[in-house]
Structure 1
Amino acid sequence: MTVTDVVRVALPRGGSSHDVRAVRVVLHREMLRFVNDRTRMVSSLVQPVLMLFVLGTGIGSLVRSSIPGIDFRTFMFPGMIAMTVITTGMFSAASIVWDREFGFLREMLVAPVGRGAIVLGKCLGGAIVATVQGVIILALAGVVGVPYAPGLLLTLVGEMFLAAFTITAFGTLLAARMKSMQSFFGVMQMAIMPMVFLSGAMFPLANLPSWLHVLTTVNPLTYAVDPMRHAVFGYLSVSPQVDAALNPGIVWFGWRLPIGLELGVVAVLAAVLLGFAISQFKRAE
């Protein structure tokens, strides 16, 4: 073999078509993982169902006289949907750490596709899985006095998907640098519990102490729970007093935010978190 005998090696070129295919492949993998893991499917539903029917019934028996005409579980229902979505979305992001431990993540990162496509596929897959879980809880609406109105159901599904995508992007950002499942789950629990408790999922946002009002206002999950509750209360017949007590909305300096602005906050946060997650993956091994 002479010096001039050079063997040409053709390297696969990336491109938009490869990126779109990568998004589909990662999304499909997330769906297959969810369908084949029935234990995860059931366990993620246990906590919100217990909170709704046990905690909701217990608290409802104490406050029944102060909120006539409505079951307290009806008030908690949007919050339990949000809890299902946030838990499932974070668990979907946890698979990144699992893939890193077993070497599959490295194989994806060396593929001739943009890492943004991998992250987007992961977030879309996690959002769809979390939305499916939320729809299962949504099927219980009639049991707690929420009507099965098509407009309401479609609105809630759309809001669930937006919240699910945001929380999955947040979980993906956290998982991008985590080296072990133990570390990720420790951080996940530290993040999830305050977000759920400070979102208004279990108590009304009206008449809170000033320090608690500030915490609920800066909590991103509040802006996902409130539109769901507003949608539900739009289909209920309750007195203005009860509506003001249980559905006061999010207030900034005496101004109640429009629902469109609340959803806009969640959408902007989703884009920002997705951008940071992609940035972290570009710096990953």
Structure 2
Amino acid sequence: MSRSVTPPKPSLTSENTALPSQAVGLATKPALPQTSTLSDFIQETLALTRRLFIQLQRRPSTLIAGIIQPLMWLVLFGALFQNVPQGLFGDSQSYGQFLGAGIIVFTAFGGALNAGLPVMFDREFGFLNRLLVAPLASRFSIVVASAIFITTLSLIQTAVIVSAIAFLGAGLPNLLGLGVVTLIVFALVLGVTGLSLGLAFALPGHVELIAVIFVTNLPLLFASTALAPLSFMPHWLQVVATLNPLSYAIEPIRYLYLHNDWALSSIVMQAPWGSVSLGGALLVLFAFDLVALLSIQPLLRRTFA
């Protein structure tokens, strides 16, 4: 009769017990320190901004058109009203000098108003959906990158227009005045860019966004002091112009071009309801930025969620 053989039990030697201890050691090994969220956000923002500049390098027509159009306005309108009697437009020596501040602001405003178009095309082509499902540190890097790109583009266009205005004989503000002009342009671009990006997430497609741009672009320009002083306008249009943020960017820049001895208390505009100082105009622009950025926050949060 055969005898059943029972297999020997494995002995708990040091070789056998080493594997569980190693596994426990791997499980309890502290993880390497992760990169901070702030540095990840900066890296993402820089990468997305670089992508936009690569697109601009491949298709520079946007930058070129944004420079040619205001130059045409400056040359054609300046020639159209060059025989206007001196003193009709305040302290300006010529209509070209009067028009220069309006062209600077119009250039920056037009570029900022188009800020939502790249985001809208990313939406329609599906690239934005890829970004939204990517493990980003913050999805607001998409908006910040677009704002940096548009602000840089607008400042480049503005620098070219300022140089062209100086070449045509309108002169230049002093060095500190140029710094204030840059601050004014930056404040205007920041608020308009925020509104344009908000529209890019709120509207259904690029056709609607382009329609909004066309509808608001020229009316806001004509309902400002870019082409004519307030004294030329009827009372109702004066009220509209003083409610237009563009006027609070145009008049300070125009004053800086005409006066080297300026201060924040200098009166730059006589509105129907009172005098507006240089510092007051800056406060209006900063308030406009605050309202614009706060108004798009809920929309962006809902979209990114």
Q: 2:292 aligns with which of 249, 273, 277?
A: 273
Query: Which is further off, 75-84 or 188-197?
Result: 188-197
Match of 1:244 in 2: none
Aligned 1:9-28 pairs, distance under 5 A: 15-28=37-50
Structure 2 residue 244 is matched with structure 1 residue 259: no
Structure 2 residue 186 is matched with structure 1 residue 167: no
Matched-pair contact (CA < 8 Å) for 1:56–1:72: yes
Distance (Å, rounded) in 2 between the aligned partners of 1:109 and 1:252: 48
Distance (Å, rounded) in 2 between the aligned partners of 1:252 and 1:26: 45
Q: Deviation of residue 207 (structure 1)?
A: 5.1
Distance (Å, rounded) in 1 between the aligned partners of 2:253 and 2:51: 29
Q: Deviations over 1:119-175 (max 9, x none)?
A: 223222211111111111111132132236333333222222222222111211211
Q: 1:54 aligns with which of 76, 89, 105?
A: 76
Q: CA RMSD in A?
A: 2.7
Q: Deviation of residue 14 (structure 1)?
A: 8.5
Matched-pair contact (CA < 8 Å) for 2:268–2:277: no
Aligned 1:75-86 pairs, distance under 5 A: 75-86=98-109
Q: Deviation of residue 284 (structure 1)?
A: 1.9
Query: Which is further off, 198-207 or 93-102?
Result: 198-207
Q: Deviation of residue 196 (structure 1)?
A: 1.1
Q: Deviation of residue 178 (structure 1)?
A: 2.3
Closer/same/farther in 2, CA of residues 138 and 110 from structure 1, 3 Å limit: same
Closer/same/farther in 2, CA of residues 148 and 220 from structure 1, 3 Å limit: closer
Structure 2 residue 245 is matched with structure 1 residue 220: yes
Q: Deviations over 1:187-240 (max 9, x none)?
A: 11111111111121111123532101111011122112122112112149xxxx
Q: Deviation of residue 85 (structure 1)?
A: 0.7
Q: 2:216 aligns with which of 176, 191, 195?
A: 191
Considering Cα pairs closer than 8 Å and 6+ residues apart, tell me whether 1 or 2 has the greater RCO: 1
Matched-pair contact (CA < 8 Å) for 1:223–1:263: yes
Matched-pair contact (CA < 8 Å) for 2:252–2:268: no
Aligned 1:1-285 pairs, distance under 5 A: 15-64=37-86, 66=88, 70-111=93-134, 112-142=136-166, 143-147=168-172, 149-206=174-231, 208-235=233-260, 249-251=269-271, 253=273, 255-284=274-303
Match of 2:17 in 1: none
User: What is the letter of the counterpart of residue 97 of structure 1?
Assistant: M
Give the secondary structure class of the aligned counterpart of 1:256: strand
Matched-pair contact (CA < 8 Å) for 2:112–2:189: yes
User: What is the letter of the counterpart of residue 145 of structure 1?
Assistant: A
Give the secondary structure class of the aligned counterpart of 1:200: coil
What's the TM-score once normalised by structure 1's chain length?
0.83
Larger Rg: 2
Closer/same/farther in 2, CA of residues 117 and 36 from structure 1, 3 Å limit: same
- Unpaired runs of 5+ residues, structure 2, are 1-26, 262-266
Give the secondary structure class of the aligned counterpart of 1:257: strand
Query: Which is further off, 154-163 or 82-91?
Result: 154-163
Give the secondary structure class of the aligned counterpart of 1:223: helix
Closer/same/farther in 2, CA of residues 48 and 20 from structure 1, 3 Å limit: same
Matched-pair contact (CA < 8 Å) for 1:56–1:73: yes
User: What is the letter of the counterpart of residue 287 of structure 2?
Assistant: V
Q: Deviation of residue 72 (structure 1)?
A: 0.6
Closer/same/farther in 2, CA of residues 269 and 109 from structure 1, 3 Å limit: farther
How many residues in Structure 1 have an aligned counterpart in Structure 2?
265
Q: Deviation of residue 84 (structure 1)?
A: 0.9
User: What is the letter of the counterpart of residue 271 of structure 2?
Assistant: V
Query: Which is further off, 25-34 or 263-272?
Result: 25-34
Give the secondary structure class of the aligned counterpart of 1:217: helix
Identity of aligned residues (%): 21
Matched-pair contact (CA < 8 Å) for 1:26–1:125: no
